[in-house]
Amino acid sequence: MQAVGNPLAESASIVRSSVLKTSFSVEPIAPSIGVEIGNIDLTAPLDDDQYAALRAALVEHKLLVFRDQDITAEQQVALARRFGELEVHPVFPHHPDHPELVVLGGDGKIPGRENIYHSDVSWRARPSMGSMLRCIECPKVGGDTIWVNMAAAYAKLPEATRDALEGLFAVHDLLPAFGTRMTPEERDARRAAFPPAIHPVVRTHPESGERVLYVNEAFTTHLVNYMEKNEVRFGFDFRLAEMDLLQYLFRQAAAPEYQVRLKWRPNTIAFWDNRSTQHYAIQDYFPARRRMLRATVIGDVPV
């Protein structure tokens, strides 16, 4: 995972040593991504060693799962805030007392629409560092979530494809996914507040130094500079070739070899790194109810 001579990777290695000072357990869930953290009580504030060890585990394993954590909304906000400043989502409904908590799930009348591979709020100029999702209520069968290791997806691309991606930038936009939830006036207001963001197609993880494929089919609309790096005969050549490349990159998230699938239970918490993962909420349970609370930690500008 670490790049030789990369100070970010070396720093992450030093932080990981603090895992030995803590008492919680770390059990892999899948070969590529995800661990279950045991023997920890998240109702109590994290001490410095626990925080450092959990952050290092998040960077390394990309998804942390905690079972049987009966915490309050206030405790969830405090726990997530330990890892950074929290956002208030401009579209999703919020918890009545804690606007930092997004309320996900309906009343059995409208199915969820998160069943598309995506990285949370990649349409922001500073997208999310991580998301912390707590299960309040879920069906006994169905409603699983898939996470994908997008660093592995990039690393296993053909070398010629990786070379072709260097220097490419993509546009990420809020409106294609959320515009149908808004009135025309709301769309105008959201467009003014959240213009499309431009991010590198391949970003460098700020803590591990890993290279990560950073486009997703929910929010990425097009490439900014495809023609600068590729010779084309006609305009339609350019557009078709650009869209073919994006579709190929989108499909990498669907490879099972890069994935883990989580079966939810009430009081399960999933904490994942949005800088290096995508996820997909499987919509196979409607009209059963699935209610979640999500806190999202603000990240950095992708480079």
Task: State pLDDT tens for residues 246-279.
Answer: 999 999 999 999 999 999 999 999 999 999 999 9
The answer to whether 118 is a known catalytic residue is yes
Q: Does pLDDT of 237 surpass 80?
A: no
pLDDT at 12: 37
Identified catalytic residue from 55, 61, 98, 120: 120
pLDDT in tens, 179-193: 878 888 888 998 899
Structural domains in the chain, sorted by start? 1-303 (3.60.130.10)
Model's pTM, two decimal places? 0.90
Q: What is the mean pLDDT of the chain?
A: 90
What confidence tier does 238 reach under pLDDT thresholds 50, 70, 90?
A: confident
State the catalytic residue, choosing from 118, 124, 203, 211: 118
Query: What is the pLDDT, as a whole number, of residue 234?
Result: 67
Residue 120 bears catalytic tag? yes
Select which of 124, 205, 275, 279 is catalytic.
279
Question: How many Cβ atoms sit within 10 Å of the Cβ of residue 165?
Answer: 21
CA 143 and chain centroid, separation: 18
Which stretches within the chain are classed as H helix? 7-16, 48-61, 73-81, 150-155, 159-165, 175-178, 184-193, 226-229, 235-251
294 part of the active site:
yes
Measure Cα distances from 37 to 40, 93, 205 in Å.
7, 29, 23
